[in-house]
Amino acid sequence: MDTLKFYFFSKKNAFLLISMLYFFAIKASAIITVGGPEDSLSASSKPKSLIQNMNREQLSSLVDFLFEIDTIPRDLMKEINKAIAVFNEEDAKHESKTQIYPSVPSSDLYSSWEINMLFPEKDMLKLKGDTSVTLLLNGGERGDYFHPFNGPVTSGFGWRDSAQHNGVDIDLNKGDKVCVAFDGMVRIAKRSGGFGNVVVVRHYNGLETVYAHLSKLKVKPGQVIIAGQVVGWGGSTGHSTGSHLHFEVRFKGVPINPKYLISFKEQKLFCDAITIKKTKWGLAAFPKGEKEHIIEKGDTVFELAKRYATTIVSIKQINGLTGRVRLKPGQVICIAQ
The pLDDT tens digits of the residues spanning 188-226 come to 999 998 999 999 999 999 999 999 999 999 999 999 999
Instruction: Name the pTM for this structure.
Output: 0.66
The pLDDT, as a whole number, for residue 46 is: 43
Helix (H) or strand (E) segment spanning residue 14: helix 2-32
- d(CA 43, CA 247) in angstroms, rounded, equals 58
Reported in sequence order, the residue ranges of the chain that DSSP labels E, i.e. its strands, are 132-136, 153-155, 158-160, 163-165, 168-171, 177-179, 184-191, 197-203, 207-214, 216-217, 224-225, 230-233, 244-251, 254-256, 262-263, 268-269, 273-279, 282-287, 292-294, 332-334
List, for the chain, all residue ranges whose pLDDT scores fall below the cut of 50.
1-9, 11, 24, 26-47, 95-102
The pLDDT, as a whole number, for residue 236 is: 95
273-304 burial, b at 16+ Cβ within 10 Å, e below that, comes to: ebbbbbbeebbbbbbeeeeebeeeeebebeeb
The pLDDT, as a whole number, for residue 196 is: 95
- d(CA 219, CA 150) in angstroms, rounded, equals 20
The pLDDT, as a whole number, for residue 129 is: 58
- Domain 123-131+138-272 matching CATH 2.70.70.10: the answer reads yes
> What residues contact 101, with CB distance under 8 A and at least 6 apart?
141, 183, 185, 204, 224
Q: How many Cβ atoms sit within 10 Å of the Cβ of residue 176?
A: 18
Closest CA to 221 of 191, 251, 193, 201: 201
The CA-based dihedral angle spanning residues 197, 203, 207, 209, taken in that order and rounded to the nearest 10 degrees? -20
Listed by start position, the domains of the chain span: 2-98, 123-131+138-272
- Residue 5 three-state SS: helix
DSSP β-bridge partners for residue 285 = 276
The pLDDT, as a whole number, for residue 243 is: 95
Helix (DSSP H) and strand (DSSP E) numbers for the chain? 6, 20
How far the first Cα of the chain sits from its last, in Å, is: 84
